[in-house]
Amino acid sequence: MIDPLRELSTEQSDPRYSQIDRLPTEQIARLMNQADAAVPAAVAVVIPAISAAIDAIAERMASGGRLLYVGAGTSGRLAVLDASECPPTFGTDPELVQGVIAGGPDALTRSVEGAEDDDAAGAAAIENLEVGTFDSVVGVSASGRAPFVLGALGEATRRGALTVGLSCNNDAPLSAAAEHAIEVVVGPEVVTGSTRLKAGTAQKLVLNMISTISMVRLGRTYGNQMIEMSAMNNKLAGRAVRMVSDITGADHDTANQALDAAGGQAKIAVLMIQHGLDPEGARALLESHGERLSDALSN
Protein backbone atom coordinates (compact mmCIF):
# COMPACT_ATOMS: atom_id res chain seq x y z
CA MET A 1 0.00 0.00 0.00
CA ILE A 2 1.38 3.41 -1.00
CA ASP A 3 1.40 5.99 1.78
CA PRO A 4 0.21 9.29 0.21
CA LEU A 5 1.52 11.31 3.17
CA ARG A 6 5.02 9.85 3.22
CA GLU A 7 6.66 12.62 1.20
CA LEU A 8 5.03 15.56 2.99
CA SER A 9 7.48 17.79 4.84
CA THR A 10 5.19 17.83 7.87
CA GLU A 11 5.43 14.02 8.06
CA GLN A 12 9.23 13.75 7.83
CA SER A 13 11.38 12.72 10.78
CA ASP A 14 14.14 15.16 11.73
CA PRO A 15 17.25 13.32 12.97
CA ARG A 16 18.09 16.25 15.26
CA TYR A 17 15.26 15.12 17.52
CA SER A 18 15.64 11.35 17.29
CA GLN A 19 17.04 11.07 20.83
CA ILE A 20 14.74 13.46 22.68
CA ASP A 21 13.39 10.68 24.89
CA ARG A 22 16.89 10.41 26.37
CA LEU A 23 17.58 14.09 26.91
CA PRO A 24 17.14 16.24 30.03
CA THR A 25 13.95 18.30 30.16
CA GLU A 26 15.71 21.63 29.74
CA GLN A 27 17.53 20.44 26.62
CA ILE A 28 14.27 19.26 25.04
CA ALA A 29 12.68 22.60 25.89
CA ARG A 30 15.56 24.45 24.22
CA LEU A 31 15.27 22.28 21.11
CA MET A 32 11.55 23.02 20.90
CA ASN A 33 12.17 26.71 21.41
CA GLN A 34 14.75 26.74 18.62
CA ALA A 35 12.33 24.95 16.31
CA ASP A 36 9.52 27.37 17.13
CA ALA A 37 11.79 30.35 16.40
CA ALA A 38 11.85 29.36 12.73
CA VAL A 39 8.07 29.65 12.35
CA PRO A 40 7.75 33.46 12.04
CA ALA A 41 10.39 33.45 9.31
CA ALA A 42 8.41 30.85 7.37
CA VAL A 43 5.29 33.00 7.72
CA ALA A 44 7.22 36.07 6.53
CA VAL A 45 8.03 34.35 3.24
CA VAL A 46 4.33 34.16 2.32
CA ILE A 47 3.15 37.55 3.58
CA PRO A 48 2.37 38.71 0.01
CA ALA A 49 0.00 35.76 -0.39
CA ILE A 50 -1.52 36.37 3.04
CA SER A 51 -2.03 40.06 2.27
CA ALA A 52 -3.73 39.36 -1.06
CA ALA A 53 -6.11 36.94 0.62
CA ILE A 54 -6.93 39.42 3.39
CA ASP A 55 -7.69 42.22 0.94
CA ALA A 56 -10.05 39.94 -0.97
CA ILE A 57 -11.73 38.78 2.25
CA ALA A 58 -12.16 42.32 3.59
CA GLU A 59 -13.67 43.47 0.30
CA ARG A 60 -16.35 40.79 0.48
CA MET A 61 -16.99 41.37 4.18
CA ALA A 62 -17.49 45.07 3.47
CA SER A 63 -20.30 44.00 1.13
CA GLY A 64 -21.99 41.98 3.88
CA GLY A 65 -20.18 38.66 3.55
CA ARG A 66 -19.02 36.32 6.28
CA LEU A 67 -15.59 34.85 7.04
CA LEU A 68 -15.75 31.07 7.53
CA TYR A 69 -12.83 28.91 8.63
CA VAL A 70 -12.96 25.17 7.96
CA GLY A 71 -10.54 22.64 9.40
CA ALA A 72 -10.07 19.22 10.95
CA GLY A 73 -8.24 18.15 14.10
CA THR A 74 -5.75 20.72 15.38
CA SER A 75 -6.38 22.94 12.37
CA GLY A 76 -10.11 22.91 13.07
CA ARG A 77 -9.61 23.72 16.74
CA LEU A 78 -7.38 26.66 15.84
CA ALA A 79 -10.00 27.82 13.34
CA VAL A 80 -12.76 27.74 15.94
CA LEU A 81 -10.50 29.48 18.48
CA ASP A 82 -9.70 32.38 16.16
CA ALA A 83 -13.33 32.81 15.13
CA SER A 84 -14.56 32.72 18.72
CA GLU A 85 -12.23 35.57 19.70
CA CYS A 86 -13.75 38.01 17.19
CA PRO A 87 -16.98 38.93 19.04
CA PRO A 88 -15.30 39.95 22.32
CA THR A 89 -12.34 41.61 20.59
CA PHE A 90 -14.06 43.40 17.72
CA GLY A 91 -17.71 43.46 18.78
CA THR A 92 -18.79 41.33 15.82
CA ASP A 93 -21.97 39.31 15.52
CA PRO A 94 -21.08 35.64 16.21
CA GLU A 95 -22.36 34.81 12.72
CA LEU A 96 -19.85 37.10 10.99
CA VAL A 97 -16.74 35.01 11.64
CA GLN A 98 -17.31 31.30 12.21
CA GLY A 99 -15.15 28.23 12.64
CA VAL A 100 -16.25 24.85 11.32
CA ILE A 101 -14.49 21.72 12.56
CA ALA A 102 -14.81 18.22 11.13
CA GLY A 103 -16.86 16.14 13.55
CA GLY A 104 -18.67 19.14 15.01
CA PRO A 105 -18.40 20.53 18.56
CA ASP A 106 -17.45 17.13 20.03
CA ALA A 107 -14.21 17.28 18.03
CA LEU A 108 -13.06 20.33 19.97
CA THR A 109 -12.14 18.20 22.97
CA ARG A 110 -11.62 14.72 21.52
CA SER A 111 -10.86 13.00 18.25
CA VAL A 112 -13.90 12.05 16.18
CA GLU A 113 -13.01 8.95 14.17
CA GLY A 114 -13.11 9.37 10.41
CA ALA A 115 -14.37 12.97 10.48
CA GLU A 116 -11.33 14.37 8.67
CA ASP A 117 -11.75 11.88 5.82
CA ASP A 118 -15.38 12.74 5.02
CA ASP A 119 -15.35 15.10 2.06
CA ALA A 120 -19.14 14.89 1.72
CA ALA A 121 -19.52 16.17 5.28
CA GLY A 122 -17.30 19.14 4.43
CA ALA A 123 -19.46 20.00 1.45
CA ALA A 124 -22.60 19.55 3.57
CA ALA A 125 -21.26 21.96 6.20
CA ILE A 126 -20.92 24.67 3.56
CA GLU A 127 -24.37 23.90 2.19
CA ASN A 128 -25.90 24.04 5.68
CA LEU A 129 -24.35 27.48 6.25
CA GLU A 130 -25.95 28.63 2.98
CA VAL A 131 -22.63 30.05 1.79
CA GLY A 132 -22.99 32.64 -0.94
CA THR A 133 -21.03 34.85 -3.27
CA PHE A 134 -20.11 37.47 -0.66
CA ASP A 135 -18.74 34.91 1.80
CA SER A 136 -15.09 33.88 2.20
CA VAL A 137 -14.15 30.31 3.13
CA VAL A 138 -10.66 29.63 4.48
CA GLY A 139 -9.68 25.97 4.48
CA VAL A 140 -7.05 25.14 7.11
CA SER A 141 -5.08 21.89 6.89
CA ALA A 142 -1.46 21.30 7.86
CA SER A 143 -1.07 18.51 5.30
CA GLY A 144 -3.06 20.47 2.75
CA ARG A 145 -5.03 17.39 1.80
CA ALA A 146 -7.71 16.78 4.48
CA PRO A 147 -10.77 15.50 2.54
CA PHE A 148 -13.25 17.31 4.82
CA VAL A 149 -11.58 20.63 4.05
CA LEU A 150 -11.23 19.89 0.34
CA GLY A 151 -14.90 18.98 0.19
CA ALA A 152 -15.81 22.24 1.89
CA LEU A 153 -13.72 24.33 -0.50
CA GLY A 154 -15.13 22.53 -3.49
CA GLU A 155 -18.69 23.35 -2.44
CA ALA A 156 -17.72 26.92 -1.58
CA THR A 157 -16.25 27.35 -5.04
CA ARG A 158 -19.40 25.94 -6.63
CA ARG A 159 -21.42 28.53 -4.74
CA GLY A 160 -19.22 31.42 -5.87
CA ALA A 161 -17.59 32.15 -2.51
CA LEU A 162 -14.01 33.36 -2.18
CA THR A 163 -11.74 30.46 -1.19
CA VAL A 164 -8.41 30.47 0.62
CA GLY A 165 -6.23 27.43 1.34
CA LEU A 166 -3.88 27.56 4.35
CA SER A 167 -1.46 24.63 4.58
CA CYS A 168 2.10 23.81 5.64
CA ASN A 169 3.30 21.88 2.59
CA ASN A 170 4.37 22.82 -0.92
CA ASP A 171 2.06 22.11 -3.85
CA ALA A 172 -0.77 21.03 -1.58
CA PRO A 173 -4.09 19.86 -3.10
CA LEU A 174 -5.72 22.51 -0.91
CA SER A 175 -3.76 25.20 -2.75
CA ALA A 176 -4.96 23.89 -6.10
CA ALA A 177 -8.55 23.95 -4.83
CA ALA A 178 -8.40 27.54 -3.57
CA GLU A 179 -8.41 30.92 -5.27
CA HIS A 180 -5.77 32.13 -2.81
CA ALA A 181 -3.08 29.67 -1.68
CA ILE A 182 -1.03 30.21 1.50
CA GLU A 183 1.66 27.58 2.10
CA VAL A 184 3.72 28.10 5.25
CA VAL A 185 6.39 25.40 5.00
CA VAL A 186 7.81 24.83 8.48
CA GLY A 187 9.35 21.39 7.89
CA PRO A 188 9.45 18.34 10.18
CA GLU A 189 8.18 18.54 13.73
CA VAL A 190 10.15 17.87 16.92
CA VAL A 191 7.78 14.94 17.49
CA THR A 192 7.39 13.45 14.02
CA GLY A 193 4.03 14.22 12.45
CA SER A 194 2.71 16.17 15.46
CA THR A 195 1.45 19.17 13.48
CA ARG A 196 -0.01 20.79 16.57
CA LEU A 197 3.56 22.06 17.08
CA LYS A 198 5.27 24.21 14.41
CA ALA A 199 2.52 23.79 11.84
CA GLY A 200 -0.13 24.68 14.41
CA THR A 201 1.83 27.74 15.50
CA ALA A 202 2.20 28.85 11.88
CA GLN A 203 -1.51 28.43 11.24
CA LYS A 204 -2.39 30.44 14.33
CA LEU A 205 -0.08 33.26 13.29
CA VAL A 206 -1.71 33.43 9.86
CA LEU A 207 -5.24 33.22 11.29
CA ASN A 208 -4.33 36.07 13.65
CA MET A 209 -3.40 38.16 10.62
CA ILE A 210 -6.50 37.25 8.64
CA SER A 211 -9.01 38.09 11.36
CA THR A 212 -7.19 41.10 12.82
CA ILE A 213 -6.28 42.87 9.58
CA SER A 214 -9.72 42.20 8.11
CA MET A 215 -11.24 43.92 11.13
CA VAL A 216 -8.80 46.82 10.81
CA ARG A 217 -9.80 47.19 7.14
CA LEU A 218 -13.48 47.18 8.19
CA GLY A 219 -12.96 50.03 10.65
CA ARG A 220 -13.36 47.92 13.78
CA THR A 221 -10.27 49.46 15.36
CA TYR A 222 -9.30 53.08 15.94
CA GLY A 223 -5.55 53.24 15.47
CA ASN A 224 -4.44 50.23 17.48
CA GLN A 225 -7.34 50.46 19.92
CA MET A 226 -10.02 47.75 20.19
CA ILE A 227 -12.73 50.36 19.81
CA GLU A 228 -15.49 47.78 19.21
CA MET A 229 -14.60 45.39 22.04
CA SER A 230 -17.32 44.12 24.36
CA ALA A 231 -16.73 45.19 27.98
CA MET A 232 -17.94 41.91 29.46
CA ASN A 233 -15.94 41.93 32.70
CA ASN A 234 -14.24 44.37 35.06
CA LYS A 235 -10.90 44.16 33.26
CA LEU A 236 -12.44 45.02 29.90
CA ALA A 237 -14.65 47.72 31.41
CA GLY A 238 -11.56 49.38 32.83
CA ARG A 239 -9.81 49.07 29.48
CA ALA A 240 -12.77 50.76 27.77
CA VAL A 241 -12.61 53.72 30.16
CA ARG A 242 -8.86 54.11 29.59
CA MET A 243 -9.36 53.87 25.84
CA VAL A 244 -12.01 56.60 25.75
CA SER A 245 -9.88 58.75 28.03
CA ASP A 246 -6.76 58.26 25.89
CA ILE A 247 -8.56 59.09 22.64
CA THR A 248 -10.43 62.15 23.92
CA GLY A 249 -8.12 63.44 26.65
CA ALA A 250 -11.05 63.39 29.07
CA ASP A 251 -10.54 62.45 32.71
CA HIS A 252 -11.50 59.04 34.05
CA ASP A 253 -14.87 60.13 35.50
CA THR A 254 -15.95 61.89 32.30
CA ALA A 255 -14.99 58.89 30.19
CA ASN A 256 -16.81 56.53 32.54
CA GLN A 257 -19.98 58.64 32.52
CA ALA A 258 -19.97 58.85 28.73
CA LEU A 259 -19.55 55.10 28.44
CA ASP A 260 -22.46 54.51 30.80
CA ALA A 261 -24.67 56.85 28.76
CA ALA A 262 -23.50 55.15 25.54
CA GLY A 263 -24.41 51.72 26.79
CA GLY A 264 -20.77 50.70 26.94
CA GLN A 265 -20.07 51.55 23.29
CA ALA A 266 -16.68 53.24 23.17
CA LYS A 267 -17.17 54.80 19.73
CA ILE A 268 -20.36 56.50 20.86
CA ALA A 269 -18.73 57.70 24.09
CA VAL A 270 -15.81 59.21 22.16
CA LEU A 271 -18.10 61.12 19.82
CA MET A 272 -20.26 62.34 22.71
CA ILE A 273 -17.22 63.84 24.39
CA GLN A 274 -15.48 65.20 21.29
CA HIS A 275 -18.56 66.71 19.63
CA GLY A 276 -20.72 67.45 22.68
CA LEU A 277 -23.47 65.12 21.49
CA ASP A 278 -26.09 63.04 23.25
CA PRO A 279 -26.02 59.26 22.62
CA GLU A 280 -28.59 59.44 19.81
CA GLY A 281 -26.74 62.22 18.02
CA ALA A 282 -23.45 60.34 18.33
CA ARG A 283 -25.00 57.16 16.91
CA ALA A 284 -26.47 59.05 13.98
CA LEU A 285 -23.12 60.69 13.24
CA LEU A 286 -21.31 57.38 13.39
CA GLU A 287 -23.82 55.68 11.10
CA SER A 288 -23.54 58.50 8.59
CA HIS A 289 -19.81 57.75 8.32
CA GLY A 290 -20.15 53.99 7.84
CA GLU A 291 -19.33 53.21 11.50
CA ARG A 292 -15.78 54.52 11.04
CA LEU A 293 -14.80 56.52 14.08
CA SER A 294 -11.87 58.28 12.40
CA ASP A 295 -14.19 59.68 9.71
CA ALA A 296 -16.84 60.71 12.22
CA LEU A 297 -14.26 62.50 14.37
CA SER A 298 -13.03 64.53 11.42
CA ASN A 299 -16.57 65.68 10.63
Instruction: Summarize pLDDT for 34-44 with one digit per residue, the tens.
Output: 999 999 999 99
Q: Would you state the pLDDT for residue 122?
A: 98
Instruction: Summarize pLDDT for 261-291 with one digit per residue, the tens.
Output: 999 999 999 999 999 999 999 999 999 998 8
Q: Would you state the pLDDT for residue 1?
A: 44
Instruction: Summarize pLDDT for 202-221 with one digit per residue, the tens.
Output: 999 999 999 999 999 998 99
Q: What percent of the chain stands above pLDDT 70? A: 98
Q: Would you state the pLDDT for residue 5?
A: 67
116 tagged catalytic: yes
Helix ranges restricted to H, the chain: 25-37, 39-45, 47-62, 73-84, 86-90, 119-128, 147-158, 173-177, 198-217, 234-248, 252-261, 266-275, 279-288, 293-297
Q: DSSP string covering 62-112, please? A: HTT--EEEEE-HHHHHHHHHHHHTHHHHH---TTTEEEEETT-GGGGTS--
Q: Would you state the pLDDT for residue 6?
A: 65
Q: Which of 11, 59, 116, 183 is catalytic?
A: 116
Q: Which of 59, 85, 127, 179 is catalytic?
A: 85
CA distances from 208 to 42, 124, 165 (A): 15, 27, 15
Residue type, 143: S
Q: Is the pTM of this model over 0.75?
A: yes
Please report which confidence band the pLDDT of residue 231 belongs to, taking 50, 70 and 90 as the band edges: confident
Instruction: Summarize pLDDT for 85-139 with one digit per residue, the tens.
Output: 999 999 999 999 999 999 999 999 998 888 999 999 999 999 999 999 999 999 9
